[in-house]
Amino acid sequence: MSKTYKITVMPGDGIGTEVMAETIQLLDAVSAKCGFKLEYNEQAAGGAAIDKYNDPMPDSVIAACKASDATLLGAMGGPKWDHYTGAMRPESGLLKIRKELNVFANLRPVSVPAALANSSPLRPEAVSGVDLLTVRELVGGIYFGKPTGNDGFEAFNTMRYTVPEIERVARVAFNWARKRRNKVTSVDKANVLDVSRLWRDTVKKLHAAEFADVELNHLYIDNATMQVVLNPRQFDVILTSNLFGDILSDTTATLGGSLGLLPSASLGEKYGLFEPVHGSAPDIAGQGKANPVAMILSASMMLDFLGETKAAAAIRKGYETALTQNLRTADLWREGYKKASTSEMGKVIREEALKSL
């Protein structure tokens, strides 16, 4: 009997509906070929949920995610909802679901195959072959620390971490390094911040006690950002806190030339949340110009999480083959390449994924 997985799907706003549609078609195709089933429960999130529920992330949507095997989430927000503030902002829904699902480790892989190197803002020889993974702590740090306040004259936020919070995300980074090239670079600001000194000390102790076989080094956030630009191929797994990871992972995301290529997974002890790195791009919504790859590769990470590794690998193979065919969506197109719409790119990836199975 084939296995069935329950998936909560939140297309989100802007281009979210378009790229999600291509992703679902692809998931249906590879799951049928590999002998398992996906049952989808579509929910509104972000601006769409404000319109429907007057809440960017209602408790009923959180409950649906907790009742599922995994959640696929599209980008949220847009000019239509920019006048909302505080907990009513579409982006606040994203923080809420991360906290509620306790998905404390955000994984952002960045790879630049040779076929994509010419699209990078850096020299092709500097980025060709880049394969790094940023592991960012996601539910602590300055985004969630208390107290916070803003009285119109003074505003403040608090960066807080405990030893257990640091240890659990560091374990994720070390374990992923063991599956890759066995190297972790921990990024902090230990020369200035007490919280970063605790971060560094905790990572060192954990490394000595449980992961001495993994190479470990440390960089300050300012140097790490510079090194990502100067020599990105030196990195394997980057481990860092919520704020620094937010900045650093977006920096690494530019290496391939477009945010439209970058997937992410947010993992906890029980739940998995999978979403593209890019925003809702309302300026191109509905025009068939959106790049579906980030959403598609996020779905591939979801299949890995579910244990369907064969189907996950086929999706990645389909994407890589589309690149070698010189197919590019508008964000990456230049003379000498074939311009593809959202649906055309999705169709080729789907066809090539099926061929590899």
Given this model, what pLDDT does residue 1 score?
59
- The reply to whether the predicted model has a pTM over 0.85 is yes
Q: Are residues 198 and 310 in the same domain?
A: no
Domain boundary among 257, 288, 307: 257
Domain boundary among 200, 233, 257: 257
262 inside domain: no
Q: Are residues 89 and 5 in the same domain?
A: yes
For the chain, what is the domain count?
2
* Calpha distance 135→150 (Å, rounded): 31
Q: Are residues 206 and 277 in the same domain?
A: no
Q: Are residues 25 and 63 in the same domain?
A: yes
Active-site hit among 5, 143, 161, 271: 143
Active-site hit among 250, 310, 317, 337: 250
Active-site hit among 5, 188, 189, 289: 189
Domain boundary among 235, 257, 279: 257
Output the DSSP codes for 257-285: S-GGG-EEEEE-SS-EEEEESS---TTTT
Q: What is the CATH number of the domain that holds 227?
A: 3.40.718.10
7 inside domain: yes
Q: Are residues 97 and 125 in the same domain?
A: no
Active-site hit among 28, 69, 131, 246: 246
Q: Are residues 243 and 346 in the same domain?
A: no
Whether residue 189 lies in the annotated active site = yes
Tally of CB atoms within 10 A around 304: 18
Whether residue 246 lies in the annotated active site = yes
Q: Are residues 273 and 293 in the same domain?
A: yes
The SS3 call for residue 187 is: strand
User: What torsion, rounded to 10 degrees, do the Cα atoms 180, 181, 183, 186 define?
Assistant: -40
* Mean model confidence pLDDT for the chain: 94
Range of the domain at 246: 107-257
Whether residue 270 lies in the annotated active site = no
Q: Are residues 210 and 164 in the same domain?
A: yes
Active-site hit among 59, 82, 201, 222: 222
Which helix (DSSP H) or strand (DSSP E) does residue 142 occupy? none
Give the tens place of pLDDT for each residue, 148-197: 999 999 999 999 999 999 999 999 999 999 999 999 999 999 999 999 99
Given this model, what pLDDT does residue 217 score?
98
Q: Are residues 66 and 165 in the same domain?
A: no
**Which residues of the chain register pLDDT less than 50?**
none
